[in-house]
Each structure stands twice: as structure tokens, then as C-alpha cells.
Structure 1
Amino acid sequence: MVIYFTSGTDQETETTTILDHLRERLSSSSASFHATEIPCPTCNHQTTSDGVIASCLSCFLSGCQLCRFEYGVSIPYFLAKVRGGTCTRASSDSAADVLHRAYILLENGFGRYDIVNNNCEDFAIYCKTGLQVDLSRQPRKGLSGQAMDIGARSDVSKVPVEKLIAEMK
């Protein structure tokens, strides 16, 4: 099972990206259940779902390749990465803590999906690290991926999932 945060495939909102449309086109020719209202026979997932959802790995991938994100990497390794968005200097918490956060957010949600300030990467990084960016501060736009790394920013703090849920209500 995979727990993740999504805007939903059938939603035409300002958060829909070109990648979403490309992914839908690519997967519509595959044998996956992506872009249909027919529930998956394995996990009962429907692609019209949005928010924090759980599905089988096949539904999550929708015919795409699984990419690995690395946590707790060294500064030289981080700076040498040619492609941004593949690692962070922040360390992952224990599997028990990660799963605890993911299951609580599955039940309670992670707020409204926003491609810039509250997206699937933010969800995954929060579940893995418990770190949350203080959005009350002025957003830092135009910075490189190295400067925006959650493991290097000064405007992040460890937020218990129960506190995060209470603040969202």
C-alpha cells in the first residue's frame, strides 16, 4: 500500500500540471486503471479521488517509473546532484514515526492541494521528517533547489502530526 497526497486526476484546477496531462495520456494506453471510474480490483482505488489517499503500488505508479528520493545526504553529495528534487540533507525519522504521520494524515487530510505551497512532495517530506516550512513567513521565490532544501532552511521546524492536524481545523 502507498499513502500519498494528490490533486485528483479529473480535477481541472490551477494545480493541474502538464505532467498530470502527460501522465494521463501515457497511462490511458496502458493496462492500468488510471483515468477511469472503475475501482481497482486490488485496492479499490478510484482515480477521481483527491487529498490523502491509499492505493496499491500499481495504481500509484499508473504505468510510470518509481523514483527514489534520498534523505540525510551529505553536503557534497547534495551539491553534486545534477537533477534537483531528488534528495535532501534532512534525515528521515524512524519507520514507525513515518507511518504514524502517514496514517493520521490519511484519516485527517493534509489541507488543500497547492502545486507551490502544499503538494505531494511537501506531504512526503513531512511524513518522512516531521519538518514543516513556516508559511507565515514571506515565501522565498527565485532561490535554487539547494537554497530551498528543507534540510538547509532556517524557516522549518519539527511539528507533531497532532499539532499539524489541529492547526488545519
Structure 2
Amino acid sequence: MAVQELTPAQTVGPFYGFALPYPAGPVVAEGGSLRLRGTVFDGAGEPVPDALVEVLQADVDGRLDGGLFGRCSTAPEGRFAFTTVRPGPTADGCAPHLAVIVHARGLLLHLHTRVYFPGEALNAADPVLAVVPEDRRHTLIAVEEERGFRFDIRLQGEDETVFFDV
């Protein structure tokens, strides 16, 4: 009999080991030139080593029907990284963004958030950003780095990432 690999214990779930592997993993778009990396932190500011981060996004023309999806487990240091293309604005008036879903220990439900891009003029008119208090919007905007963007996810505490009730 084959030995089955155990998946990490989580409050959300159940997760089935055979269903977790995603063939493309963190490569959302082949040949993508946008790199998004970050770390998932818990309420004490400690990295979460066993979270699962998923992204879903529009293509460069803003179409959502292209199936641009990626999944990445965090490393022992809580880090994740995706390779993709920069999404275009969507037909419903949303600025370019990536939808993010976080599964982590201690959560009763998975969490939904978004990653927006710094300096994007369309952020000012985005209907979702508009309902987020101005002093909290920075938790939804990635930080530009030399080789891409960084988006840290804070599950609780100071500078907790804004999550949406979807």
C-alpha cells in the first residue's frame, strides 16, 4: 500500500492532498514579466509557514475569462511568490489588481483581499478601493521593488491587511 503524504493541519478545510497540487503552481501566466512576492504574517508578526495563497486576475486586456490563476504554499519563512503579467483594468471599472485568497491555520474561513499597484492612476476611481478607509488602503497596495512587487499579508494586528466579505 502506498504511503499518503499528510497535509498541514488547518482550521479551514478539509483539504485533500490529491487536490492541493496545482500543475502551474505559482506561475499564473507563462512568460509573465511581473513578479509578486511577499510574506504571510500572523497577529504576533511571526511568519506563517503553512499558509496557502491563491491569486486570480484579469489578463492584460482586463478580461476575467482567461483563467489566470495561481496557487503557492508558503515556505517555512512564510514567503510566497508568483510570476504573472500585469492585469489590465476590468470592464466593471476596477483598476488593475490581483484577487488574493488566503488559507491559513486558525482561520474558520479563507480570506479574500486584493493587490493593487502603486502609482496606478485608475486606483483613484476604483469602486472597491473607494469603500476602504483612506488610512487602510496602503494595506492593499503592493510596494514596487527592483525586480517586481512585494505584498505582505498581515492576518491580524498592526497594519492588518484589509480583507473583504465575499
The interval holding the TM-score normalised by the smaller chain is under 0.3
Bigger helix fraction:
1
Q: Which has the higher strand share?
A: 2
Structure with more contact order per residue of length (Cα contacts < 8 Å, sep ≥ 6):
2
TM-score, structure 1 length as denominator? Answer: 0.24
- TM-score (norm. length: structure 2): 0.24
